Amino acid sequence: MTWNEQLEAATSAWQGLCRALEATGTEALTKTMTHDEIDLAEGLRYLSRLTQLTLMSAVENKDADHPYLWTALDPHRKMGGDNPQGLYLSAPINGTDVYRLRGNRGSARWVSILISQDGLPPFGHALFLPDLDIDADGNFEVLIAARPQPGSWLKSTDASTGVLIRQFFGTPDNVIPMTLQLDNLTTTSAVPQPLTLQPVVDRLARASLMFSALAPMMQQEMLDKADRLNTFKTDIGDPTSNAGGVPGGNAVIARWALSPDEALVVTVTPPSPCAYWDVQVGNGWYESFDYRHFFSGLTCEGAHLDDNGRLTVVVSEHDPGTTNWLETAGHRQGHIAVRWQLSGDQLPIPDTTVVPVDQVPDLTGLPLVDPGQRGVARNLLADSFDRRFGV
């Protein structure tokens, strides 16, 4: 290609991205879930975050010959009901080479290692914490390859494009992230090749498509629930469905709408068996709340269950003075999701009721939490955040 042809290709790629951002973003803002300023402000921020997320995902760290792990989602790049207790890492792979993932398991209550791929479903094969061969010191190794490998083997295919590692921590006071290293055992190239134009053009086009698809899809999750406020329904009937579920798990999701003096009381009996479960709240853009400062998630390890094994969660703006409280963080509306992992074909649907927040202790019988205890717990959120993200 001549210089002018190269310049035209680069300019066209950039303009295409800008057009996609403008058109999709403008439409999303006009469909903001409420007319509250906080939702519009967070929508504008969400679009900037999603721009960053899709560009990073489509353009950067794409060399499967020289892969390295980095955060896929984090406090500043959120989407799809990200777990407030989660640490998400990803790296590029291909379906032909052999990769070795090794390290120490840390303290995560739940671990899943997933193969991402082109097309639908978005994920291929997976390994979970019970599948890993972990020694007495917490060390493990996984080989990722198309053909069977000794030990823990995660199968790749021609469609494979990456590996996603999800670590979900059980309690804020026990956060030790995995130490991990990913190596391509097949490549013989010591250093990456110099960057050429066409791959960047293609990656920007992919980023444009991702942004144009993800923004309305995630937003529509909440808009579709406008006639089912404060009640659960599931739109993912198969844990590995094309609708967005990840292997090994499923979720039920509700859109809540509360005034400051109200509380949503959610009750459900967790299934058995179930390797891990959690409950989380977030905004109308399907993002988690600021989990460094707000109580926005509970896990099977940290939540209180009654003597019959039943879970009661309270969602409200004001502190109800009980355990199992999740905050609305200044919002009148948002989402709540319950995630079940390895629960077979069981998908319990929680019951819900809206009550005055000052009646929560009497109506629920939950253990009481005084302001001093709440302050200690809130400080733990910041400590957990700092340990998780290496601050």
Residue-wise pLDDT for 191-200, tens only, equals 999 999 999 9
Residue with tokens 């020289």: 66
Residue whose C-alpha is closest to residue 267's, from 336, 320, 314: 314
pLDDT at 239: 42
pLDDT at 344: 87
Domain 221-388 fold: Jelly Rolls (2.60.120)
Indicate the pTM of the whole model.
0.95
Q: How far is CA 196 from CA 1, 60, 192, 199, in A?
A: 12, 14, 12, 6
Residue whose C-alpha is closest to residue 284's, from 357, 203, 205, 229: 229
CA distance 178 to 113: 12
User: Which phi-psi region, left, alpha or beta, contains residue 373 (left: φ > 0; alpha: ψ -120 to 50)?
Assistant: alpha
**Other CB atoms within 10 A of residue 312 CB:** 22
pLDDT at 188: 84
pLDDT lower than 70: segments of the chain: 234-245
Q: What is the pLDDT of residues 50-71, one digit of tens each?
A: 999 999 999 999 999 999 999 9
Which residue type sits at 346? Q
Residue with tokens 């939540």: 303
pLDDT at 246: 80
For the chain, which residues make up each domain, given as ranges? 1-60+197-219, 221-388
pLDDT at 311: 98
Strands 152-155 and 139-145: parallel
